Structure 1
Amino acid sequence: MVKRADFEKDFVWGVAASAFQTEGAVEADGKGLSIWDEFSRRKGKIYKGHAADISSDFYNQYTRDIALMKSMHINNFRFSISWSRIFPTGTGEVNAKGVDFYDRVIDLCLEMGINPWVTLYHWDLPLALQQKGGWVNRDIVDYFSDYVAFCINHFGDRVKQWMILNEPMVYTGAGYFLGIHAPGKRGVDNFIPAIHHSALSQSKGIRIAQSLRTGLEVGTTFSCSAIHPHTASQKDLNAAKRVDALVNRLFVEPLNGLGYPMQDLPFLRKIEKYMHPGDEIALHAEPDFIGIQNYTREVVKHSYFTPYINSSLVNAKNRVDEVTEMAWEIYPQAMHEMLHQFSKYKFKKLYVTENGAAFPDIVENGKVHDIKRINYLQSNIAEILKAKKEGVNVEGYFVWSFTDNFEWAEGYRPRFGLVHIDYESQKRIIKASGHWYSNFLADL
């Protein structure tokens, strides 16, 4: 079994969370509505009509949660700032009470010896900006830049690690193409400009943060999945190549100065309509790190009926005996594969900024048994160690998630947390996996 002592002492270990999924208090103390506040009120969009109005109530329970984190030997906490808690309409006047909340969270983390890692955008766009077009509107680049600058100027004296965007492929694809996430827009004419304006915001945000303060580590995060062909046929091999370009390469390659992967995804040529002079250069930045977020792999096959990519996923339930509550295959080798794939871009360093699994919690006599989660985490950490020994410059690992929370369109059904939340009483119970991680971190 892999041990913490197998890694260098300066390898970073932590947990992750996001504002919308945990904070609740959706309109408290001057906060403006986000696209997820509005989307989760639409009938039929969220599992059983769940909403994040309270969730795990981090806004009111943060002192309790951070103290719990400290007791578990966790000394790095990745969380996000709610844009609409700082700027209720996305721009203009600052909400002082919102700023004060994050000041208190950051200061308490530091007091407890916990290093705050802050994500600036974890999908909760201010609703007022969506009413102006959201990520489809090029003005979003300027609105976002102002927000980044404010946060770096105000919090950057204490927060040294920053992530600009969280998984841009997911929020543009699910939110602006498939319509299954907020803001519920559909079609390639929404998707294409949302891609470009997110990519521009990503690179500009990195440059702004780096220019405003020295001594920061500034990066961004990407979702990724190992993409494997269903058969060895050329059609399936080509299908896998297209899906890999869409899922794993779409945002990292322009950031790396390689441009969009148009050769493998010809429909991306539509993006040229939204390109302004100088955009090719503006897409490129030099982050101090990249966060990769891997949970599983996908197996794909050729499909005549899927527009733009002519590929379809082979359902994991039809391929393997056991899947997670998200219907994802348990395939830890994907972590090893993706670390190697992203290392080829030669970024300064990599962190695994999310990894975890949703399994049913078995609650008995005040204890939560989740052996499957322990096995999942152990096997993924082993794959990270393997990649590291092979020369991949991976320098840290964050479990998703610290507590159970609102899992977007899936509501409260899937539980990813190391800490169980009883949503009725807000009682916290450290799960067996949380105790395991605590003991793992204590093992020096």
Structure 2
Amino acid sequence: MNSSAILNTAVTSAVPLPNVTRMDFPSNFVWGCSTSSFQIEGAALTDGRVPSIWDTFCAKPGAIRDGSDGSVACDHYHRWPEDLDIAKQLGVNAYRFSIAWPRIITEPGGVPNQQGLDFYSRLVDGMLERGLQPWATLYHWDLPQYLQNLGGWENRSTIDAYLSYVDVMTRHLGDRVKHWITHNEPWCTAMHGNWDGMHAPGKKDFKVALQVAHHVMVSHGLAAPIIRANVTESSVGIALSLHPLRAASKNEEDQEAMQRHDGLRNRWFLDPLFGLGYPLDIQAHCAEYLPEMLPGDMDAIAVPIDFLGVNYYFPETISAAPQNPPLHTELKLLADRERTGFGWEVAPDGMQELLCRIKQDYPSIPIYLTENGSSYDDHLDQDGQIQDTSRRNYFIRHLDALKQARQSGVDVRGYFAWSLIDNFEWAEGYLRRFGMVYVDFATQVRTIKQSGYWFRDFLQLKK
């Protein structure tokens, strides 16, 4: 998920809760929870795994707010049966996970690591035994460090390495896993990793960021036919982090700034995905930073997909900022807005607005909410309970917005809550808790929160 910190003060709201039930959605609607490998697995030196760019980034002084790392995280590598049992207990019918590339291909051009393959076989079999439909994400930011040493996603050869890895994984799991997400949030891979430096590998070069974004999107397009060749009845998509935008004012400068920000934040990824190429206005504005491209690249990116994954968290308010090249924009924080403990605005209407915009601006495509959730400062009370009422209310309000989007004709077919369990929240370390399940990171004890019990009750069909 996108871990760019905005503000660290939660602001709550007394907005009346809407009435939304499981019966407001079709019987075949997908209800899931999402996780990612580096954030939960731990076992950094176990069974042949090699370092990822996040292991290296965590070792950099000051990179992680609490000075922690993901070497243990939630120890999911050893505790996955318990975590899948909890997912089943919550009543979800799908489980979105990501595969750690550094567990599979441990050196440039190397043969697959059987221990890594075996782990994901056990994990997928465990999902199926519990009635959980596996949704696999092939890349959730943990690039092997040996590839970063060769230039990472800036180097076009990483595309070839990725395709080899995709081929291995889809051949290995394709008999059991039918739903595949090529990349999670290419914006974060490119921009947080290479422009603002908040994420691994920690670079601050806008031209590099655009080159990385291009190579990631090309790799997505080239991976799709490999997946389809290896997996019968496959369903292939990509998960994008998208934000509805508001201009800070009605003046022309802020309106234009919002358009520029939208061009890079949303359209730079959506437009080429649907065959429209990179936005011409952003190409003109950022002409000196444009990526190197080869003939056929844009056709590759525009390969048909079976679904679009949308990760929605919050809207952004944008103003003009001539002092901030190259976009000359800045994010404005409006003090009167309700916010999570992470400082992210709570705006269920933004979800509905975003989904309706996708329906209006792009070809018809099935949509899954592949991430949606909130971070609050959860604590165990004296009875060993976690009363995370704000997160429960967040789910209620956003599911109502999802219901309304569907009623407006948006083809949304599933919802994945972020996240199943508290985890390593990237540059924030263990300071942020998004889980429906509380994790005591000292003991690894799991405790279902109030929001998790609410989600369980919501999913139970009343007879």
Matched residue pairs, number?
Answer: 442
Q: Confirm whether residue 56 of structure 1 aligns to residue 74 of structure 2.
A: yes
Q: Partner of 2:4 in structure 1?
A: none
Specify which of 47, 56, 68 is matched with residue 86 of structure 2: 68
What's the CA shift string for 1:288-315, capped at 9, x where partnerless? 0000001011101111111011111102
Specify which of 186, 202, 214 is matched with residue 196 of structure 1: 214
Q: How far has the Cα of 1:326 moved from its partner?
A: 1.7
What TM-score comes out, normalization by structure 1 length? 0.97
8 A contact 2:367–2:412 mirrored in 1: yes
Gaps of 5+ in 2: 1-18
Q: Which has the higher contact order (CA 8 A, sep 6+)?
A: 2
Q: How far has the Cα of 1:339 moved from its partner?
A: 0.7
What's the CA shift string for 1:114-169, capped at 9, x where partnerless? 11100000000000000000010011111111111111111010001110000001
8 A contact 1:192–1:270 mirrored in 2: no
8 A contact 1:20–1:124 mirrored in 2: yes
Q: Confirm whether residue 340 of structure 1 aligns to residue 356 of structure 2.
A: yes
Distance 2:290 2:60 in 1: 34
3-state DSSP of counterpart to 1:421: strand
What TM-score comes out, normalization by structure 2 length? 0.93
What's the CA shift string for 1:95-123, capped at 9, x where partnerless? 11011000000001101111110000000
3-state DSSP of counterpart to 1:71: helix
What's the CA shift string for 1:239-280, capped at 9, x where partnerless? 111111111111121111111113235344346551112223
Distance 1:72 1:188 in 2: 42
Q: Confirm whether residue 328 of structure 1 aligns to residue 320 of structure 2.
A: no
8 A contact 1:255–1:284 mirrored in 2: yes
Specify which of 368, 374, 377 is matched with residue 351 of structure 1: 368
Q: Partner of 1:269 in structure 2?
A: 287
Judge which range, 335-344 or 24-33, deviates more. 335-344
Q: How far has the Cα of 1:362 moved from its partner?
A: 3.2
Distance 1:169 1:207 in 2: 23
8 A contact 2:194–2:209 mirrored in 1: yes
Specify which of 230, 249, 253 is matched with residue 231 of structure 1: 249
What are the within-5 Å matches in structure 2 for residues 164-243 of structure 1?
Answer: 164-243=182-261
Distance 2:404 2:190 in 1: 32
| Distance 1:2-1:256 versus aligned 2 partners, 3 A rule | same
Q: Partner of 2:13 in structure 1?
A: none
Q: Confirm whether residue 408 of structure 1 aligns to residue 456 of structure 2.
A: no
Specify which of 22, 37, 48 is matched with residue 19 of structure 1: 37
Distance 1:368 1:297 in 2: 28
3-state DSSP of counterpart to 1:264: helix
Distance 1:91 1:270 in 2: 34
Percent of aligned pairs with the same amino acid: 39
3-state DSSP of counterpart to 1:30: coil
8 A contact 1:196–1:271 mirrored in 2: no
Q: How far has the Cα of 1:44 moved from its partner?
A: 0.3
Q: Partner of 2:267 in structure 1?
A: 249
Aligned-pair Cα RMSD in Å:
1.3
Specify which of 46, 51, 62 is matched with residue 28 of structure 1: 46
Q: Partner of 2:137 in structure 1?
A: 119
Specify which of 381, 388, 393 is matched with residue 370 of structure 1: 388
Distance 2:432 2:108 in 1: 30
Distance 2:298 2:339 in 1: 41
Q: How far has the Cα of 1:195 moved from its partner?
A: 1.4
Distance 2:386 2:105 in 1: 39
8 A contact 1:91–1:147 mirrored in 2: no
8 A contact 1:403–1:420 mirrored in 2: yes
Gaps of 5+ in 1: none
Q: Partner of 2:22 in structure 1?
A: 4
Q: How far has the Cα of 1:214 moved from its partner?
A: 2.6
